[in-house]
Amino acid sequence: MTALERFLHYVRIHTSSSENLERTPSEEREFDLARELEREMKAIGMERVFVDAHAYVYGFLSATPGCEERPCVGFIAHLDTIPDTDFPGMNVRPQLIENYDGGPVALGTSGRVLTAEINPRLPALRGHTLVTTDGTTVLGADDKAGIAAILTACERILAEGRAHGPVAVCFTPDEEIGHGAALLDLGRFGADFAFTVDGGELEEINYETFNAAAAHWEITGFNIHPGSAKDRMINASLVAMEINAMLPAGAVPARTEGYEGFFHLTDMKGTVEKAELDYILRDHDAAALEEKEKLMRLIEKQINEKYGPGTAKLTLREQYRNMAEKLESRMDIVELAERAIRSLGLEPRTAPIRGGTDGSQLSFRGLLCPNLGTGGYCCHGPFEHTTAENLDAAARLVESVIELAR
């Protein structure tokens, strides 16, 4: 089965995770894909295939004779797509455009058009078989492209009887809500090091992520009839707006790039009596993230001094840390990925992830885990797309890493 065939099958399985549910997986539907992958992994000849109670799917390739001393290399991709909010992961209807001409692409009847302004790399995909959404959902290339690449690579290696060292595979739930690595059983997995195969361009290697924290504000106002409100009313929604205005206006995702951090307001709701704000704080530099947290604490102090104790309550929570702290001592793992990328005729480059991956948490749990690209673009929205050729190249990249691992 080709990587494209696998991918088109997987994206039709609804696996969106959900925020704020205290369970793993967050949604039972993630088991639908987990069980499908279990069946498929057994069918292609993988060993010790197992789905645990939390929808983690494990499978292994034993080393071929003479390769037993090679390191065990792991590959990880995630089952879930982003939570069903603005653009769901259900009823996905992919569009296939063979011999793509490089021009604008109408996404179904949605009125949305994929253009080079949205993805500057789009014209370079001329001649490929382009895979897009119909404009009403995400596509699911994040990260069902990674799953397709890993299983296609394993199937080819097994079918062709190629020599290889030990390989460990795990497909995780709930990566999109930050829980994907938490319950991965490192003892069962047994890899010496691993790679997530999760988004990004094929020539990219990612071993730097943001340091990340979440901030939740609860604002308590005082409601009274507006006719007698002078010097008495505290409008919680207006206080929430004031808090946001006290943050640097340019330090937001839409105005930052590269190694520049940000404050990102992800959710807000409010009345006169109560209001809430949710932010994610991001910075590649740990000290800079700490300064962002200090600024929020200062704002909390000043708001409570102005409006009275208890008006604003701030809760900060660490989410993940920059895995470069761990990987900088094992750049041989990154160099292995570079050799594998060159085997595809591409020139490797490293790029910081303006986000996080399962590899962030796993690296701090002791499993060093940079990221390999899948050749997908514009994830987390209706303009998400990939190509059949990129899916196949991602599979060949996984094969090459397996063959080059020594």
Distance CA 120, CA 151 (A): 30
Kindly list the catalytic residues.
80, 175
Distance, in Å, from the CA atom of 109 to the CA atom of 111, rounded to the nearest integer, reads 6
* Statement: residue 20 has pLDDT above 80: no
**230 Cβ contact list (under 8 Å, min separation 6):** none
Residue 21: the pLDDT is 81
Residue 319 confidence class, pLDDT cut points 50, 70, 90: confident
Position 355 scores a pLDDT of 78
What pLDDT does residue 39 have? 98
Question: Can you give the pLDDT at residue 251?
Answer: 97
Q: What is the mean pLDDT of residues 170-187?
A: 93
- Indicate if the pLDDT at residue 236 is higher than 90: yes
- Place 180 in a pLDDT band, splitting at 50, 70 and 90: confident
Please tell me whether the overall predicted TM-score, pTM, comes out greater than 0.75 for this model. Answer: yes
CATH of domain 212-320: 3.30.70.360
Does residue 17 surpass a pLDDT of 90?
yes
Indicate the domain borders of the chain: 3-209+322-404, 212-320
Calculate mean pLDDT across residues 226-250. Answer: 97
Residue-wise pLDDT for 353-369, tens only, equals 887 778 888 999 999 99
Mean pLDDT of 50-60: 98
Q: Looking at residue 333, what is its pLDDT?
A: 97
What's the average model confidence in pLDDT over 384-388? 98
Contact 349, 203 (CB under 8 A): yes
Domain 3-209+322-404 -> CATH class: alpha beta
Q: What is the mean pLDDT of residues 110-136?
A: 97
pLDDT band at 114 (very low <50, low <70, confident <90, very high): very high
Mean pLDDT of 131-150: 97
With contact defined as beta carbons under 8 Å apart, do 174 and 25 qualify? yes
Check residue 18 and give its pLDDT: 95
In SS3 terms, the chain reads as CCHHHHHHHHCCCCCECCCCCCCCCCCCCHHHHHHHHHHHHHHCCCEEEEECCCCCEEEEECCCCCCCCCCCEEEEEECCECCCCCCCCCCCCCEEECCCCCCCEECCCCCCEECCCCCCCHHHHCCCCEEECCCCCCCCHHHHHHHHHHHHHHHHHHHHCCCCCCEEEEEECCHHHCCCCCCCCHHHHCCCEEEEECCCCCCEEECCCCEEEEEEEEEECECCCHHHCCCCCECHHHHHHHHHHCCCCCCCHHHCCCCCCEEEEEEEEECCCEEEEEEEEEECCHHHHHHHHHHHHHHHHHHHHHHCCCCEEEEEEEEECCCHHHHCCCHHHHHHHHHHHHCCCCCCEECCCCCCCHHHHHHHHCCCCCEECCCCECCCCCCCEEEHHHHHHHHHHHHHHHHHCC
pLDDT for 231 beyond 80: yes
* 156 closest CA partner among 394, 405, 385: 394
Q: What band does 330 get if pLDDT is binned at 50, 70 and 90?
A: very high
Q: Both tokens of residue 171?
A: 């497909």
Please, what is the average pLDDT of the chain? 96
pLDDT band at 199 (very low <50, low <70, confident <90, very high): confident
Out of 320-324, 354-358, 395-399, the most confident range is: 395-399
What would the mean pLDDT of 98-116 be, rounded to a whole number? 97
